[in-house]
Amino acid sequence: KEINLSKWNTSKCTTIAGAFSSCEKLLELNISNWCITYYPGYMFANCTALKTLIIDNCDFYEVLDARYMFMNCSSLTELNLNNWNMRECQSLLGMFYNCVALKTLNIDRWNVENVVIMSGTFCNCYSLEKININGWNTKSLQQINSILSGCANLKEINLSKWNTSKCTTIAG
């Protein structure tokens, strides 16, 4: 139910997509000090019991696609991912989809200038009350449909600085 893999050397891994996907009984995971590159999509998808994810000092670089990375992590209440380097990332499709218990999400320092798809990124994050993403450079953004759909408890959001000039899909 608890796994500590913080001493694993993942510097040669080019994909860890789905690495912990559907580990439904996993409560706590420590992957501090991991090197995560290219494609971490679905990495924690369907880890419905996961309450604690220790992901400090992770080297997140050259990540191209983070789609559905935390999808259906319905027991996570907080994540601090501010130190992740998302500069090369092109898709955040459904990254936090159905993270219904997530109240605190720290991602305001992300560089998302190359992200094209953000559709459903925070969809059905019912418990999310505040998210600060107004400073994101969204110059490449093309799809943001349902990005905040189902965020029933969201009390504060400001996207006034977002560049949506290339967006072709904004439906909710």
Closest CA to 48 of 106, 97, 105, 103: 97
Query: Rounded to whole angstroms, how far apart are CA atoms 34 and 62?
Result: 14
Cβ-proximal residues to 165 (8 Å cutoff; 6+ apart), any chain:
none
Residue pair 122/131 in contact (Cβ under 8 Å)? The answer is yes
Rounded Cα distance, 24 and 43, in Å: 13
**pLDDT in tens for each of the 172 residues of the chain?**
888 998 998 888 878 889 999 999 999 999 888 877 778 889 999 999 999 998 877 777 788 999 999 999 999 999 988 888 889 999 999 999 999 999 999 999 999 999 999 999 999 999 999 898 999 999 999 999 999 999 999 998 889 999 999 999 888 7
Counting beta carbons within 10 angstroms of the beta carbon of residue 126, is it exposed (0 to 12), middle (13 to 18) or buried (19 or more)?
Answer: middle
Contact 69, 98 (CB under 8 A): no
